[in-house]
Each structure stands twice: as C-alpha cells, then as structure tokens.
Amino acid sequence: MIAGIDEAGRGCLAGPVYAAAVVLGEVRPEGLNDSKKLSPARRERLFDEIRRDAVDFSIAWADAAEVDRLNILRATWLAMQRALAGLRALPVEAWVDGNQAPPLGCAVRTIVGGDGLEPAIMAASILAKVSRDRAICALDIEHPGYGFARHKGYGTVEHMAALRRLGPSPIHRMSFAPCAQSVLDLRTA
C-alpha cells in the first residue's frame, strides 16, 4: 500500500499548516492535479470525489503555536505524521512532494513536483488545501479585520496592512519575520 502525502499552508503568516495522506485504488477522480493549479470550485468538487473514492485518507494539521515552537519544517512533518497515523493501516511506502524525506515510520519516496505528477500526491494536495482553506475561513470569523477568508493567511498587501494596523492575532506565526516585525512597529508607533 502506498500513500501520497502533501501539505498546505507552509508559506502562510497565520493559521495551521495542514497535511493529508491518501491511498488511492483503481477508481480515481478525473481531473486530479496540483491543488494550486485548480480553481476553488474544482478543488471542492474533487475534495468530495477523493473522499468518496479513496481506499483511505486522513487529514491533520499543526497549529500556529506548534509552527512557532518547532519551526515550519518540523511542524509540517508533524502534520504529515498525524495524517499518516490517521490512516487505518500504516502504508508500506509514503510518497511525499518535495526533496526532503520526513520521518514517517515507513519507507519514504520524495518526488520533486509530485503534487503535479503522482495521483495520490495530487489527491493529498487537494484534501490538505481545501481543508486548510475551510479552517482559515472559520478563523476569519473568530479574528475579524485581517481578511483571512480572502488571502488565506498568505502575506498579501491586504494582510500586511492589517498586521500593521491591528498587530498579530493569536493565530499568527510569531516566528515569521513579518508577524514579529508588526509587534515592533506597534510599539514604536
């Protein structure tokens, strides 16, 4: 059994980093691709199809506090470990997008650009991205004024302006320079 694993939200300034693990069988949703190359509507449709058709899948995350405590790489690996642990059975091998093999407790094959090459990784990228987008939209309601529902926590012009205006929220990653700088800027204003 092979599981595809991918993450979403590594480059964000706020919110959790998500990971998904997917084991595909013979039935594979049509139109799988790297989640970043799909429209939000297409990702949503494929999200439902993957969940319906996959042999097994699991979605997990590491929150912003874990990102700050561990660093983004180790927090991403933690989310991947949690996703893998959520499968009904440990796979023989995990295929991971990228060039660094996380410690997952099974054989790991890294594939640079795997989220655009291997269907199981593509499926994992979609599950992770849609799940994270949904979570950050919910966090937008809890932390109004930042525009999380629009930029999903990425460092857009709008987000940077909100950080300067409001300072960081409890879900901002303080280990990321723009978030730490916003605290300094508020103190000197």
Residue 184 CB-half CA count within 13 A: 6
**Does 7 appear as a known binding residue?**
yes
**Cβ–Cβ < 8 Å for 5, 94:** yes
Both structure tokens of 104: 């997952």
> In a 10 Å sphere around its CB, with 0-12 CB exposed, 13-18 middle and 19+ buried, how is residue 121 labelled?
buried
Q: What is the Cα 113 distance to its own chain's centre?
A: 16
Element (H, E) at 40: helix 40-53
**Cβ–Cβ < 8 Å for 148, 15:** yes
**Does 48 appear as a known binding residue?**
no
* Gyration radius (Cα) of the chain, Å: 17
**Does 97 appear as a known binding residue?**
yes
Query: Which residues participate in the annotated binding site for a divalent metal cation?
Result: 6-7, 97
Query: Which residues participate in the annotated binding site?
Result: 6-7, 97
